Amino acid sequence: MADAAHTGWKRLAIIAGGGEVPLLIAQGEIDAGRNPFIIEVTGFADQDYTPYERAAYPVTKIGGMQKAMREAGCDAVCFIGRITRPDFKSLMGLDTAAMALLPKITQAARYGDDALMRVIIDSFEHKGLRAIGADQALASLVPQAGVLGAVEPGASALADIEKALQIARAIGALDIGQGAVVVNGLVLAIEAQEGTDAMLARIAKLPADIRGKSDGRIGVLAKTPKPQQERRIDLPTIGIRTIDGVSRAGLAGIAIHAGSALIPRRDETIAAADAAGIFIYAARADE
């Protein structure tokens, strides 16, 4: 097994929601000579984890998850994948640990998803499980600054990028969402609880005269972390499905922040963007 000093953990537990990023992190651990332990979140995990040592729990069984991780010899945990925020007050079957956290969870939920997740993360760290982000677990998911791929943004697109990132940061500060769409300086949409895919689907239904089209792409989707975001969870993610949504919406490209976003299957995603004539721009932190 690889020396744990390089990463700071000996065995990583991956709390896997929906999407492929948890699986990619698990594969990365195997490639590094470590043996991950998977907690499949019932109703959300949607990948094949049968090659891995694993257990499955609903979100109501926080204590069960923690006990399973300790028994598996885990000293770190990564929360990754899509999970819809549940209404803990109405959930049945809360275990002892979840019940003990319920007052804090209920209070934190009033202040947004990030406050809620900090309470949950803290409960795992109090059990001796260091919480790490997906960017720490698999650095290859994180883009560096610059244009990724063969398509470059023009002057109009760069102006839209600047405004879209500004809008995304502003709505993030209010804990609304992470994304915004700007076309020729006009804000067409902001992302809320529906998520990026649904937002892009809305754009695709707008009149063609205010959005782009396949033979005349304009505008940009920007995604950036919330200023107050707990970076160990929920960094903005783009992938092939995002490229498809941007393409259907007639947009010219995507802007993210270098070091603050995840791109699963990076080469495939960039190839798909190139094929569609869509740029991917990773802005510097000061942009």
Instruction: Locate all alpha helices (DSSP H) within 110-183, ordered by sequence.
Output: 113-125, 134-137, 155-173
Of these ranges, 7-11, 34-38, 229-233, the one predicted with the greatest mean pLDDT is 34-38
Per-residue pLDDT, 86: 64
**Alpha-carbon separation of residue 71 from 51, 64, 198, 255 (angstroms):** 19, 11, 40, 42
- The Cβ of residue 39 has, within 10 Å, a number of other Cβ atoms equal to 27
Using an 8 Å Cβ cutoff, are 105 and 201 in contact? Answer: no
Handedness of CA 119, 120, 126, 130 (dihedral sign): negative
Question: For residues 257 and 153, what is the distance between their CA atoms, to the nearest angstrom?
Answer: 15
Using an 8 Å Cβ cutoff, are 182 and 220 in contact? Answer: yes
**Alpha-carbon separation of residue 19 from 59, 159, 199 (angstroms):** 17, 32, 18
CA dihedral 278, 284, 286, 287 (to 10 degrees): -10
pLDDT in tens, 112-164: 677 777 888 898 999 999 999 999 999 899 999 999 999 999 999 999 999 99
The overall average pLDDT reported for the chain is 89
* Percent above pLDDT 90 for the chain: 68
Helices 240-249, 196-204: axis angle to 10 degrees equals: 20
Per-residue pLDDT, 206: 92
Per-residue pLDDT, 148: 96
Could you tell me the residue ranges of all domains in the chain?
4-137, 142-283
Using an 8 Å Cβ cutoff, are 40 and 54 in contact? Answer: yes
Please choose, from the candidates 118, 134, 44, 124, the residue with its C-alpha nearest in 3D space to the C-alpha of residue 84. 44
Give the range among 51-55, 175-179, 196-200, 251-255 with minimum mean pLDDT.
175-179
Structure token digits, residue 214 = 């396949």
pLDDT in tens, 212-246: 888 889 999 999 988 777 777 778 999 999 999 99
CATH of domain 4-137: 3.40.50.20
Spell out the residues 6+ positions from residue 13 whose beta carbon is closer than 8 angstroms to its own.
36, 37, 38, 39, 69, 72, 74, 76, 77, 78, 129
Q: How confident is the model at residue 107 (pLDDT cuts 50, 70, 90)?
A: confident
Classified as helix, coil or strand, 280 is: strand
Q: Could you confirm whether domain 142-283 is CATH 3.40.140.80?
A: yes
Task: Characterize the bridge pairing of strands 179-183 and 186-190.
Answer: antiparallel
Classified as helix, coil or strand, 100 is: helix
Question: For residues 256 and 184, what is the distance between their CA atoms, to the nearest angstrom?
Answer: 18
